[in-house]
Amino acid sequence: MPENRNTDTENESDYLDAEDWRVAFEPYEGYPLSALTLGYHLAALKQYVKGPMMREGLATIDIAIDCLFEHSEFRSISRELFLTAIEGRMPVDKEELIRQLGIRI
């Protein structure tokens, strides 16, 4: 089994598939109102990105990433490393260092 099923699995596409979203949304199980609220937010983002408010939509995604950072193990280390990890730009040497610090990636 992969160490991290979200990042260690092979995906034929660069786009997120249904399994990626299932894993990401597992914490919402048992919280239907929170899931509905997130659905509203995603629908609003979709409208921003599709329309003339694309910049606002991208800024909103940046805000969401900043808020997500606060819930990650990276908050005790570095926001920049968090961004590097989620964007898939983490060099192997830094990845090993982060694992030695006890942070799961």
What is the per-residue pLDDT across 27-82, written as a single tens digit (0 to 9) for each? 999 999 999 999 999 998 888 888 888 888 899 899 999 999 988 888 888 888 88
More confident residue, 96 or 1: 96
H-type alpha helices, 1-105 = 18-25, 32-50, 54-69, 79-86, 92-100
pLDDT-based confidence at residue 8 (cuts at 50, 70, 90): low
**How far apart are the C-alpha atoms of 77 and 90, rounded to whole Å?**
14
The structure's pTM equals 0.65
Cβ 57 vs Cβ 67: under 8 Å: no
Find where tokens 């160490």 sit.
3
Cβ 10 vs Cβ 19: under 8 Å: no
Rg (CA), the chain: 16
**How far apart are the C-alpha atoms of 11 and 92, rounded to whole Å?**
20
pLDDT at 7 over 70: no
